[in-house]
Amino acid sequence: MQNYDIAVIGGGAGGLVVASVAAQLGLNVALLEKEKQLGGDCLHYGCVPSKSLLRCAHVAHMVRHAGDYGTDVGNTSTDMQQVNAYINHAVQTIQRHDSHERFSEIGCDIYTGGARFVSAHCIQVDDIELYAKRFVIATGSFARIPDMEGIQSVDYLTNEDMFSLETRPEHLLILGAGPVGVEMAQAYARLGSRVSLIEQAQRILPQFDRDVSRQLKKQLLADGVNIVHGAVERVQQQGDVRTLVLDDGRELSGDQLLVAVGRRPAIEALGLEKAGVDFGENGIMVNARMQTSRRHIYACGDVTGLMPFTHVAEQQAGVVIANAVFRIPKRMHYRVIPAVVYTEPECAQVGMGLEQAERDTSARVIQFDMQQLDRAITDNTTRGLLKLVVRKGRIAGAHAIGQHAGELIHELALAIQENMKLSKITTLVHAYPSYSQLNRRAASQYYRDSLFSPFTKNLVKILSRWLP
């Protein structure tokens, strides 16, 4: 039996951070991954291929609208083989950083295969048993398939096979208008597919601000996406045609169906019961130090069911390293973690939600529209807005839709984290013309009423009259 200081189960974002740091610090590390390649869902089936696809779609969209900017490029068409080549190039470029060779060189022993706990300190990979002082579970998540009549008899896509399509769908049905659904809807619509986006809730992106959702819906409709609100009762397939039947009798048919209704933690095959690790339907239960019910076993990433984002997994991995490696009692905090949807325009939010702000009498919401931003006007990207939630002169939350919103949100996240006064944003010089001025202009709105109040006007008159 092999003995290790730390055994990391899962070679995705969170697991690789823990394994890399621990090995480079001289600990004896076992890295276990069921797939042949490291990198996890984000690299192979999630963040990287989806953003690469969105880039291809953006270029196609810009070419079609080049005439708006004075350039006539004629008719255009999309070559899916070239699109796939672009996606694969991005994946393979990043894969080199997450290769077996690199992690072996820094001192990790890599085991390929499904891992299962035998006891609280022993795990089995195929026929090999490994012992470790501490474990880190970072097995990620997979697409949730709804309990729907007929779904098991239909050929459907998830994020795991969405990016291997050899031909562009003629009519793509997308079930679920969360982040994955809206991104893929816009991407394939701009690549030339008919797209129908079906969402049970009354609006798309229901976890975002209503005005953000409304503006994104306008853009998707302009891109040609058919947005349908309603509950799907059953799904059926005849030949290559998939049909969704809604509870009100409406039917939608297409040649491909993408299921994007959320994620499930990958825990079924881990044998957590034998390790004494508590878990539920939403994932492995952890405390703020990312410890499970067994103090020597940690978990991070999607498997915890807590904010399933790659950047959250990496942050949680840092907390694991602090506690499991350095024995520093560091805690995980979720208050200032941004969420971004990479459509065009991008959607971003961080901190206090607007519904909570409405209930908080001390909170005030400031809004600034992209139509008033000079750089947005020059770029013809004026669809968007920024809402700031302000409490006692300090930023408590931010909600945005607009060009580069996913980048602009970080300045506001820092302001929330450091409990900055809003004046810190207004006094910081932002280059002109830039999108970053959106933050400064929105912050300035907070002081506008007091600056131009009757009191201030009277004060200026007095100063002008009595002072030279």
Per-residue pLDDT tens over the stretch 284-301: 999 999 999 999 999 999
CATH 3.50.50.60 residue spans of the chain: 2-38+99-143+264-325, 151-262
Residue 451 has pLDDT above 70, yes or no: no
Phi first, then psi, for residue 308 (nearest 5°) are -75, 70
Class for domain 339-451, per CATH?
Answer: alpha beta
Number of other CB atoms surrounding residue 282 within 10 Å: 12
CATH 3.30.390.30 residue spans of the chain: 339-451
* pLDDT tens readout for residues 43-94: 899 999 999 999 999 999 998 888 888 887 877 788 889 999 999 999 999 9
Phi first, then psi, for residue 253 (nearest 5°) are -125, 140
Please state the pTM of the whole predicted model. 0.93
- Taking residues 126-131, what's their average pLDDT? 92
- 371/433 Cα distance (integer angstroms): 14
Phi first, then psi, for residue 395 (nearest 5°) are -75, 125
- pLDDT, position 361: 86
Range in 15-24, 158-167, 258-267, 319-328 the model is least confident about: 158-167
* pLDDT tens readout for residues 308-319: 999 999 999 999
Please provide the average confidence, as pLDDT, over all residues in the chain: 93
- C-alpha distances (whole Å) from 453 to each of 7, 285, 366, 445, 450 are 63, 53, 17, 13, 5
Architecture in CATH for domain 151-262: 3-Layer(bba) Sandwich (3.50)
- pLDDT, position 103: 93
Residue 437 has pLDDT above 80, yes or no: yes
- pLDDT, position 467: 78
- pLDDT, position 341: 97
* pLDDT tens readout for residues 225-265: 999 999 999 999 999 999 999 999 999 999 999 999 999 99
Output the six-digit token pair for 23: 């090995």
Residue 202 has pLDDT above 70, yes or no: yes
Distance of alpha carbon 52 from its chain centroid, rounded? 14
Q: What is the DSSP string of 102-165?
A: HHHHTTEEEEES-EEEEETTEEEETTEEEEEEEEEE---EEEPPP--BTGGGS--B-HHHHTT-
Architecture in CATH for domain 2-38+99-143+264-325: 3-Layer(bba) Sandwich (3.50)
pLDDT bin (cut points 50, 70, 90) of residue 29 is: very high
DSSP β-ladder status, 251-254 and 241-246: antiparallel
- pLDDT, position 417: 95
More confident residue, 231 or 458: 231
Single out the residue of 309, 308, 323 nearest to residue 135, CA to CA: 323
- pLDDT, position 460: 77
Range in 354-368, 374-388, 427-441 the model is least confident about: 354-368
Output the six-digit token pair for 229: 């609100």
Residue 448 has, within 13 A of its CA and on its CB side, a CA count of: 10
Phi first, then psi, for residue 289 (nearest 5°) are -90, 10
